[in-house]
Structure 1
Amino acid sequence: MNDKQFERIQTGKGFIAALDQSGGSTPKALKLYGISEDRYSNDQEMFTLVHEMRKRIIKSPAFDSRYVLGAILFENTMDRIIDGQYTADYLWEKKGIVPFLKVDKGLAPLSEGVQVMKPMNDLDSLLKRATERNIFGTKMRSVIKEAKPYGIKKVVQQQFDIAKQIAAAGLIPIIEPEVDIHSADKAVSERMLKDELLLQLAVLDQNVKVMFKLSLPTENNFYRELLADPHVVRVVALSGGYSRTEANEKLARNHGVIASFSRALTEGLTAEQTDAEFNTKLSEAIKGIYEASIK
């Protein structure tokens, strides 16, 4: 583990950019960016286009380590090049931004009010490649749609089981059990989820460190017990479908939690913008998210 990167993530001021849209969500991300599906005919062309979008973000002067602590990458992005360097190396060596990797393979069908992660049969080999690519940590996402105790317990157990495997490989896992913001019983789900997270933290080996990426909570400062736990490096929040303005307002009311926004970060960016227009728009977004993250 890179101690300098660890210190930056644990204590630095700023937020973590989520640039990790995968196969299923890439068409929507490209469409929001102004690139419709008729512009590509296969996955290879699609991923090339989305890498160009991500590269434009990463290379922008607005994407600055004064505001951005880390960036979460998709596996395809990790294996691509920016100015002669692998993406993670460019992020750290040229930008001073810590690279993370999305490792989950998507969501299983809804059952017991939740969607657990699909099996990750090649996780060990992926973690080995991530280490070779100088990745610092990982991220994996589950979804909770209903306040059903068994389902929520199953989500958390799976997340922690895999987190231990990731930690054993020398990486810091970001555990992301997202509570759907449209859930009719969101606050109840959040309470159940926090209880399960605290139970798992209580029996975690002392030397294992984790991060959490969680939905913006119904109750302000709801994650204070997680923030205080010695296993927890950082708690970050996903925007979850809120507009950037609304997400920033909610985030600012949760002290100690920082952003890890995806769609809210890229909101308003388009392929047709000039570099000057693009950089101005991205700078506005980054500075707004940063200000909400340091409240």
Structure 2
Amino acid sequence: MNEQQLERMRTGKGFVAALDQSGGSTPKALLQYGVAEDSYTDDEGMFTAVHTMRTRIIQSAAFDSKFILGAILFENTMDREIESKPTADYLWEEKGVVPFLKVDQGLDVQENGVQVMKPMPNLDRLLARAVDKRIFGTKMRSVIHEANTEGIKQVAEQQFEYGKRIFAAGLIPIIEPEVNILSEDREESERILKEEIVRQLAKLHPDVRIMLKLSIPSVDGFYSDLMQDPHVVRVVALSGGYPQKEANERLARNPGLIASFSRALAEGLSFGQTEADFDRTLQRSVEAIYAASIT
């Protein structure tokens, strides 16, 4: 594990850029960017198009380690290059940004009010490749739709079991049990989830380190105590579907919680923009998300 990267993630000021749209969400991300589905004919064309988009973001002067601590990549992005360098190496060596990798294979069907992750039979092989590619950490996502105690317990147990395997492989896991912001009993879901996270943290070996990626809570400051747990490197927040402005406003009311935004980060970016317009738009987003993350 890269100790310099660990210290940056533990104490640095800034946020984590989520550039990890996968096969299912890539067409939507490209459409938001102004690239229609009829502009590519197969998965290879789609992934090439989204890598071009991500490369443009990463190479922008606005994508600066002054504001951005880390970036989460999709597996296909990890396997590609930027300026003849593996993407993770480019992020760290050229930008000073810590590279993470999305490792989950998507969500299972909803049951007990939640969607756990699909099985990951090839996880160990993927983790070995990530280490070889000089990835620092991983991310994996589950979703909680209802305040179902049994379902939320299943989410937490699955996330932490995989998290322990990931840490044993030499990587820092980002555990992401997202609470659906449209849930009618969202606040109760957050309460149950926090109890389960505390329970799981208490069972970890003293040496294990993780990160948490959580929905911006209904109650301001609700996750502040989790930030003090010795196992927790950092607690980051997903935008969860909020527009950037609202996500930033909610985030700023939670001291210590930093952003890990995807759609909110790319808001306003377009394939057809000039480089100057693209950079200005991204700069405004980066600075606004950064400001909300350091309150």
TM-score, with normalisation over the residues of structure 2?
Answer: 1.00
User: Which position in structure 1 is the counterpart of 2:204?
Assistant: 204
Structure 2 residue 49 is the aligned partner of structure 1 residue 49: yes
User: Which position in structure 2 is the counterpart of 1:290?
Assistant: 290
Unaligned stretches of 5+ in structure 1? none
State the distance in 2 between where 1:270 and 1:244 align: 16
User: Which position in structure 2 is the counterpart of 1:23?
Assistant: 23
User: Which position in structure 2 is the counterpart of 1:91?
Assistant: 91
User: Which position in structure 1 is the counterpart of 2:281?
Assistant: 281
State the distance in 2 between where 1:121 and 1:287 align: 40
State the distance in 2 between where 1:185 and 1:228 align: 27
TM-score, with normalisation over the residues of structure 1?
Answer: 1.00
What is the 5 A alignment of 1:188-199? 188-199=188-199
What amino acid is aligned across from residue 55 of structure 1 in structure 2? Answer: T
User: Which position in structure 2 is the counterpart of 1:272?
Assistant: 272
CA RMSD, aligned part only? Answer: 0.3
Kindly tell me the number of residue pairs found equivalent between the two proteins: 295
User: Which position in structure 2 is the counterpart of 1:124?
Assistant: 124
What amino acid is aligned across from residue 285 of structure 2 in structure 1? Answer: A
State the distance in 1 between where 2:133 and 2:215 align: 29
User: Which position in structure 1 is the counterpart of 2:184?
Assistant: 184
Give a deviation string over 1:247-266, Cα, whole Å, max 9, x none. Answer: 00000000001000000000
Identity between Structure 1 and Structure 2 (%): 64
Structure 2 residue 100 is the aligned partner of structure 1 residue 100: yes
User: Which position in structure 2 is the counterpart of 1:65?
Assistant: 65
User: Which position in structure 2 is the counterpart of 1:167?
Assistant: 167
State the distance in 2 between where 1:182 and 1:222 align: 18
State the distance in 2 between where 1:147 and 1:42 align: 39
User: Which position in structure 2 is the counterpart of 1:244?
Assistant: 244
Structure 2 residue 220 is the aligned partner of structure 1 residue 220: yes
Q: Could you list the runs of 4 or more consecutive aligned residues of structure 1 that deviate by over 2 angstroms after TM superposition?
A: none
User: Which position in structure 2 is the counterpart of 1:75?
Assistant: 75
Displacement of 1:213 after TM fit? Answer: 0.2
User: Which position in structure 1 is the counterpart of 2:158?
Assistant: 158
State the distance in 2 between where 1:76 and 1:145 align: 29
Displacement of 1:225 after TM fit? Answer: 1.5
State the distance in 2 between where 1:263 and 1:75 align: 19
State the distance in 2 between where 1:279 and 1:80 align: 23
- State the SS of the aligned residue for 1:167: helix
Give a deviation string over 1:142-187, Cα, whole Å, max 9, x none. Answer: 0000000000000000000000000000100000000000000000
- State the SS of the aligned residue for 1:53: helix
Displacement of 1:122 after TM fit? Answer: 0.3
What amino acid is aligned across from residue 128 of structure 2 in structure 1? Answer: K
